Amino acid sequence: MTPTPSRVGRILWLVILVATCKQAPAHPSPRPPAITATPPAAPLLPGMPRPLDARNVYAGTGVGMIDSVARADRPLVYVPLGGAASVAVLDPSTYRVQRTFTTATLPQHVVPSYDLRTLWVANDRGNSLTPIDPVTGREGKSISVEDPYNLYFTPDGRYAVVVAERAQRLDFRDAHTMALHDSVHVNCKGVDHLDFTADGRYAVATCEFSGKLLKLDVTTHHVVEYADVDSGRPSMPQDIRLSPDGREFFVADMMADGVFVVDAGSLKRLAFIPTGTGAHGIYPSRDGTRFYVSNRGWHILRGRPHGPGSVSVLDPVARRVTATWTIPGGGSPDMGNVSADGKELWLSGRYDHEVYVFDTEHGRLEHRIPVGRDPHGLTVWPQPGRYSLGHTGNMR
């Protein structure tokens, strides 16, 4: 008997149902929620990459998010030794110095370039930048650059910003050749660290010897505002980091022994969070939920060994310290990086001629590595992120 159209439809429906049941798992795993970027409040700086997630400016720096450009780079730790005019190169798998190479006078920081293809050693008194090839870990021929205390890159990748601290200038240079484009004189002493607003249109820098912040228009290269960090009390602002949501800047203050929170737009002071003696560096965790604050242990630029240095773990949303990591016998934690997997915090021991490696899960000091005189702005490389804004690895 020939099936009727209705019977054919029912048979076809049963065949499809059975096939679907065989293919589908009994308990399908839930799909992870898609990350959707919320448009920023203001238009982005032209040429700046769009954020992966506007709720977290560090969304592109998570565990495993090494850019394809950096995947072939040798895993190494570079430690500038200001007192020895050299850079110590460490193997992070053995926690030992692999070799040391000579630089010009007073290397201060090792800085990843915007495009992640070069690491630059900023030789402050030597008036030069020494390039390192991150694929081989080998240094190249230095180029002349006046007074490079620190080095940053605009969020569109167009300019390198050389922080000429002694000269009280911010020098805008070609991000690749380092040819000078123009210079911006600043009316505050000790300009040294900076960060950028979430839309990339402004840079906010700290002036440690003036107790001030300055706000600079990235497009016009003009200073638009100066602001006191803490009016009425001595202040010595150091590192500065944008909050994950982009609404605030966190400013470590070596004299105030803590971190100031200021509005990213108005620079108005919102809060103060006590951390420890000589608050100095700020480093976000891989998920951006914690800031690691290095407390150098001294209020002065030239401290002594075995000071009361520590690391404070800060919740930037709750604005409170959740843990404090101490250094047995004392120390002087300064500048550094979080490891690519987020499991270690590497910091230079400025006055103790060593490098510290903390376990970020348990807050224990796992390694103390002797390196040489006056270690400062070390970088762990490679780092997760699509591009570098400079310093020891301000990645986005």
- Model confidence at 207, in pLDDT bands (50, 70, 90)? very high
Range of the structural domain that residue 89 is part of: 59-381
Q: How many structural domains comprise the chain?
A: 1
In a domain, 220, yes or no: yes
Is position 54 within any domain? no
CATH code of 108's domain: 2.130.10.10
pLDDT tens digit string along 179-198? 999 999 999 999 999 999 99
Establish if 151 belongs to a structural domain.
yes
Query: How does pLDDT run across 157-172, given as a tens digit for each residue?
Result: 999 999 999 999 999 9
What is the number of other CB atoms lying within 10 angstroms of the CB of residue 359? Answer: 14
Nearest to 292 by CA among 207, 152, 392: 392
**43 assigned to some structural domain:** no
Average pLDDT, the chain: 91
Q: Tell me the percentage of the chain whose pLDDT exceeds 70.
A: 90
Mean of the pLDDT values across residues 301-328?
Answer: 96
pLDDT exceeds 50 at position 4: no
Task: Scan for tokens 């004299």, then name that residue.
Answer: 255
Statement: the pTM of the whole predicted model exceeds 0.85: yes
Q: Cβ distance 172 to 181 under 8 Å?
A: yes
Q: Is 267 left (phi over 0), alpha (psi -120 to 50) or beta?
A: left
Please report whether residue 176 resides in a domain.
Answer: yes
In a domain? residue 1 = no
Would you say residue 131 lies in a domain? yes
Per-residue pLDDT of 240-257, as tens digits, reads 999 999 999 999 999 999
Q: Whole-angstrom Cα distance, residue 165 to residue 267?
A: 22
User: Is residue 232 pLDDT above 90, yes or no?
Assistant: no
Q: Are 235 and 255 in contact (CB under 8 A)?
A: yes
50 lies in some domain: no
